[in-house]
Structure 1
Amino acid sequence: MILLVDDKQENLYSLKTLLQLHAYDADTAASGEEALKKILRNDYALVILDVQMPGMDGYEVAETITGYSKTKNIPIIFLSAVNIDKRFIAKGYASGGVDYITKPFDPDLLLLKVKTFCKLYEQTKALKTMQETLKEEIEIRKQTQKALEEANLRLEDKVEERTKALSQANKELETSNAELQQYASVASHDLQEPLRKIITFTGVVREKFLAGHSEAEPYMKKVASAAERMRSLINDLLNYSKLSSAVHFKPANLNQILNETLSDLELSIHEKGAKVTVEELPSAEVIPGQIRQVFQNIISNSLKFSKINTSPEIKIWSDLTASKSFDAPANSKGKYLRIYIRDNGIGFNEQFLGKVFTLFQRLHGRSEYEGTGIGLAIVKKIIEKHNGLVTAKTKEGEGATFIVLLPLQQSLVSAQPILHR
């Protein structure tokens, strides 16, 4: 859960709606005092904090949060439209913030930062839990060794040696834990270093302490895999934030990207009772982090706009075409990739097709479906960055099929005319 702190209700509503659109659970507080009460009662993965508030200002709230042992590792992002001078930003970091964003802000960038800090917080929390479990196991082993010492004095030397080794291991784990607790206080441009430590110490735990523990191994593999994806996400975040800089495409396995997206959406898919069918996709030159966002936004839409009392069914497949056209015939030797994502949801009238890809445009009231209407706008922006096209075919009550058209190789873009409708 994310805690939003601002004395202006309109700001709280806007931020909460934006986060809920992307499946983040958000809580709000209208003052510093209310925020401190809530943060002691609830577990939050991130705090987005306004600087200028009556009573306690944002800096005082941040200093208080980082002063509590229970909450000192919760990452804090400052959000301010007034205090944008360097000295205020420096004060924000000094008071415990991990980032300082000035208004007006880019919603895409804010969401990427939210995702980064939330994932890092959850990974740190999971590692801490694992370390506590290992420490308990070490204590049990110490007790066992003591019993063996009493039962057989001839093993005294061995027991003593083993106890010292376990004691040293315990100290190393405590050191690792202390380092992990500092990760949440580091700004986004410094995330690579603590992430490297996560990967390194995970390897140490697997090699030194989990050998032969087959039940723990899959969980450690998941931690390592998530950390590697986080490393890619950080790089993608830095690249995506530099909108004026040249983007860099690379050959990527779209099946892997799609599988990672479905893994991230696993909870939503399970809660909806959805069935997702995926056919093999070819590789293509893309920006992997951005294409992952495309898959996530479209699939999340399919889950959100499902029919009442009907389990969502989502099918994903692709074909190739020789032309940059939605309606061109399939061609197995084509240079353009068409990806289809079809659902059995509520659909919409195709006369509003242009509207669904426009920033902050909605076809349904907030009382029916939550969201601010930026998800598909982000999809369109990313696909245009990839020199591609996106559209949808739909009817009200009969579901929708989103079609993403991408060049397999970006070098072919200038050689092929645009033939779409």
Structure 2
Amino acid sequence: MILIVDDKIENITALKKVLESHNFVVDTALSGQEALKKILRQSYQLIILDVQMPDMDGFEVAESISGFSKTNDIPIIFLSAVNISKEFITKGYASGGHDYLVKPFDPDILVLKIRTFIKLYEQTLELSKMQQVLIDEIEQRKRAEQKKDEFLSIASHELKTPLTSVKGYIQLAEMSVQSNEKENALNFINRSSNQLKKLDTLITELLDISKMTTGNLEYHFADFNFEPFLDNVIDVILRSNPGRNIIRSGYADFFINGDEFRLEQVLLNYLSNAIKYSTEPHPILIHVETTDSNEVKVSVRDSGIGISKADQSNLFGKFYRAVQSSSKYQGFGMGLYICAEIIEKHGGTYGVESEPDKGSTFHFTLPLTNKNHNH
């Protein structure tokens, strides 16, 4: 769209007629102030400015346009019948004009110039977009490399910690056996076993990350009842954490179409995090309900350290660990990223509500199957 700015309606009418006859879309303004208001609201490909206008002349309008980042590249053509000296033409270019035509002018020449300036303007916009895309891509790659380096450092540390512990406990167990201290030996073997479980979890997570990156994480969908599934997951987590109290509420006797193994990963991750980040006397609350959208919603609530607003938006991202937990708790920062991937593959949603020092509630939803209507 082209904007014509002139305080004389007869000039606007004549010029508008010429441009519209060449299929240009035209807008008009009868003053500099009106033009600036329109420029801020509307997008234009080119502006034709009369130099001699009351209150605000064409040069002042051009300078204002050049001062706005949104509009500083829009080509401006000055038209003047009065100010035709070299001094005024120079001022026109200095104020941001791309051309200065003296009346009377050849309409064909004007149309040719307009087409050329619009083409250049569009090319400039396209180049700017490409430049921004390249800048963004370079920044994404830099961040990705940085996150990858951080992840490798974390992975190295996290895998080393249980391995070192296992090595130490086995040595202590050997010494206890040699000293005929059977009870101590069994205690150290149990501790080794717990560390090996942690190591197994970390390695499984690493393999899942690798498969996700290559798009090879396998899913086996089937209809299953959510009630026994939920009871089984809670039983698994309690066997690994016999001292903890998990309180369950809500109705779960309905069918889901999904991969039980993958969904078990999600729920175990939620429950494990709740246990990891909260103190022992407080129970973990798990609630299940159906929504108006024919979905099941599962929520896991803890009374732990909580999560800041800044961290919440990144929690389900790749390689991310909350600031307050990264130095104190084990993990790659990939568990919730894997959970997000699994829930998305099942057509569900996920999220978190939390406040620092007031605990967290992690939830996910899954669509129910049609089987429930016959159940």
Range of TM-score over shorter length: 0.3 to 0.5
State which structure, 1 or 2, has the greater radius of gyration over its C-alpha atoms. Answer: 2
TM-score under structure 1 length normalisation? 0.39
The normalised TM-score by structure 2 is: 0.44
